């Protein structure tokens, strides 16, 4: 959204093509607490405010999916499900999706104790027992973040060694607040869904017709199974943090731009200090090219950077600002017709040169 705001303010007339369901922030029902300047505001409310801001400056939104981009000719072509849009520059900001276990209780309890972001939701479980699933760097970091505030953290991993870097794994192993359960898979997440006095989902069929969006939900446990012995047991827990990797939403760009060799599916931005991808005119912002930070605030920053890069590239190439080009042409014609070149009006000259101390912008820019 920040790319749209910056591009719109630069007069680039951005068209934002996105499906109506939105990204990770849109799915965050609790307050966004780690975005500077925002508090007491939920993810969807933040997205809506950003959207209104972008619209106010001239961005146009189209609710569509983009299954394909064609960069083999110029202008570039963006295929939506209903049209083909020609453009000089594209900013890809399609984000990344957390991978989920796809087990019973997981979807149902999202927002009520099932999360994929300890930084976002960990504080809710201050002083409680929590579970982290996974054995990679993300799982280690999630466990370490949670260990600062939760009473205990149990890491459940499906093998007997961590995939994570040695240093992070060692920190987890040595942390007295973190227990590790090896060789185990989480089979089911159980809890209570409180609607009209309460329903529990110990039995996975119970959640059938419940309005999950408006229900109060509380995770109470995770059923795990030892992958060697098949033995099942229950961990009492208030939350399950699923940290089994992310998948950037970039499959529609296969064969178009280059991908990062180390981080599968993430778009490569080969130039130092630039959001430019391997294809000129295509820029990447946010989680699609960031396997490390993946925060709303870092994504917003890279969206602004992508809009600035796109604007600079378009102006270097002399592309994009048809209105300005037309105005310049008309002015040139007018000057030629009336031969007023020697007597043109210049406000600075009229005022005796440069006016120091004048406010140069109508609004304060941050
Ligand atoms: P990852 O390295 O792919 O690890 C995913 C973990 O989840 C693995 O341990 C995997 O188990 C487990 N897993 C996957 N699917 C599962 C399933 N269905 N059920 C149970 N467990 C499952 O992902 P990541 O930890 O998000 O890291 C992604 C990349 O970002 C990595 O290259 C990582 O180094 C990097 N990263 C770096 C940092 C850092 O340097 N500070 C921080 C975060 C991420 P197996 O091990 O058995 O496959």
Domain boundaries, the chain: 2-98+246-317, 114-242
Closest CA to 70 of 91, 94, 83, 86: 86
- Residue 363 confidence (pLDDT): 57
Mutation choice for ligand 1 from 118, 132, 242, 245, CB with most ligand atoms inside 8 A: 245
**Which CATH number applies to 2-98+246-317?**
3.50.50.60
Gap from CA of 137 to ligand 1 centroid (Å): 6
Q: Across residues 92-116, what is the average pLDDT?
A: 94
Q: Which CATH architecture has domain 114-242?
A: 3-Layer(bba) Sandwich (3.50)
Mean pLDDT along residues 219-233:
98
pLDDT at 202 over 80: no
* Strand intervals (E) in 64-128: 68-70, 76-79, 84-87, 90-92, 96-98, 114-115
pLDDT of amino acid 75:
96
Work out the pLDDT band at 254, boundaries 50, 70, 90: very high
pLDDT at residue 339 greater than cutoff 80: no
User: Does the annotation count 196 as an active-site position?
Assistant: no
C-alpha closest to that of 288 among 97, 96, 116: 96
Q: Give pLDDT, residue 355.
A: 47
φ, ψ for residue 304, nearest 5 deg: -60, -45
Q: Does the pLDDT value for residue 325 go beyond 90?
A: no
Grade residue 329 by pLDDT with cuts at 50, 70 and 90. Answer: confident
Per the CB < 8 A criterion, the answer to whether 182 and 198 are in contact is: no
User: What is the arithmetic mean of pLDDT over 277-299?
Assistant: 95
Residue 357 is predicted with a pLDDT of 47
User: In angstroms, rounded to a whole number, what is the distance separating the alpha carbons of residues 223 and 352?
Assistant: 80
Domains 2-98+246-317 and 114-242 share a fold: yes
User: What proportion of the chain, given as a percentage, has pLDDT over 90?
Assistant: 69
Total length of the chain = 366
Tokens 């600035």 belong to which residue? 308
Task: Check if the beta carbon of residue 66 is closer than 8 Å to that of residue 95.
Answer: no
Q: Is 245 in the pocket of ligand 1 (CB under 6 A)?
A: yes
The band of 239, judged by pLDDT with boundaries at 50, 70 and 90, is very high
pLDDT class for 87, splitting at 50, 70, 90?
very high
Answer yes or no: 349 catalytic. no
- Full-model pTM: 0.72
- Mean pLDDT computed over 57-76: 97
Please give the average per-residue pLDDT across 320-338, as a whole number. 74
Q: What is the average pLDDT value for the chain, to the nearest integer? A: 88
Residue 190: per-residue pLDDT = 97
Burial class of residue 80 in the structure, from the number of CB atoms within 10 Å of its CB (0-12 exposed, 13-18 middle, 19+ buried): middle
Distance CA 152, CA 162 (A): 19
């Amino acid at each position: 959204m920040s790319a749209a705001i910056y591009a719109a303010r630069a007069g680039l007339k951005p068209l934002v093509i996105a499906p109506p369901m939105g990204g990770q922030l849109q799915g965050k029902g609790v307050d966004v607490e780690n975005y500077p300047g925002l508090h007491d505001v939920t993810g969807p409310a933040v997205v809506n405010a950003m959207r209104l801001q972008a619209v106010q400056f001239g961005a146009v939104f189209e609710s569509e999916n983009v299954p394909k981009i064609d960069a083999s000719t110029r202008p570039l072509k963006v295929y939506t499900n209903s049209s083909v849009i020609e453009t000089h520059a594209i900013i890809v900001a399609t984000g990344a999706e957390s991978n989920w276990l796809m087990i019973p209780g997981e979807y149902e309890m999202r927002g009520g104790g099932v999360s994929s972001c300890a930084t976002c939701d960990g504080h809710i479980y201050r002083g409680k027992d929590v579970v982290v699933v996974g054995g990679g760097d993300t799982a280690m970091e999630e466990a370490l973040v949670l260990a600062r505030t939760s009473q205990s953290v149990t890491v459940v991993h499906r093998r007997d060694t961590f995939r994570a870097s040695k240093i992070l794994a060692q920190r987890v192993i040595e942390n007295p607040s973190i227990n590790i359960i090896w060789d185990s898979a989480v089979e089911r997440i159980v809890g209570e869904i409180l609607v009209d006095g309460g329903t529990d989902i110990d039995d996975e069929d119970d959640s059938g017709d419940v309005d999950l969006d408006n229900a109060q939900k509380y995770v109470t446990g995770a059923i795990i199974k030892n992958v060697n012995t098949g033995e099942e047991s229950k961990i009492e827990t208030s939350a399950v943090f699923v940290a089994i990797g992310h998948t950037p939403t970039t499959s529609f760009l296969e064969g178009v731009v280059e991908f990062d060799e180390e981080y599968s599916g993430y778009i490569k931005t080969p130039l130092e200090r630039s959001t430019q991808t391997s294809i000129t005119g295509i820029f990447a912002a946010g989680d699609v090219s960031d396997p490390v930070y993946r925060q709303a605030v870092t994504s917003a920053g890279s969206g602004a950077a992508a809009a600035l890069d796109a604007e600079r590239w378009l102006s270097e190439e002399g592309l994009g600002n048809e209105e300005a080009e037309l105005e310049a042409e008309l002015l040139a014609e007018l000057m030629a017709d009336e031969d007023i070149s020697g007597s043109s009006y210049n406000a600075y000259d009229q005022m005796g040169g440069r006016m120091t101390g004048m406010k140069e912008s109508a609004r304060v820019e941050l």
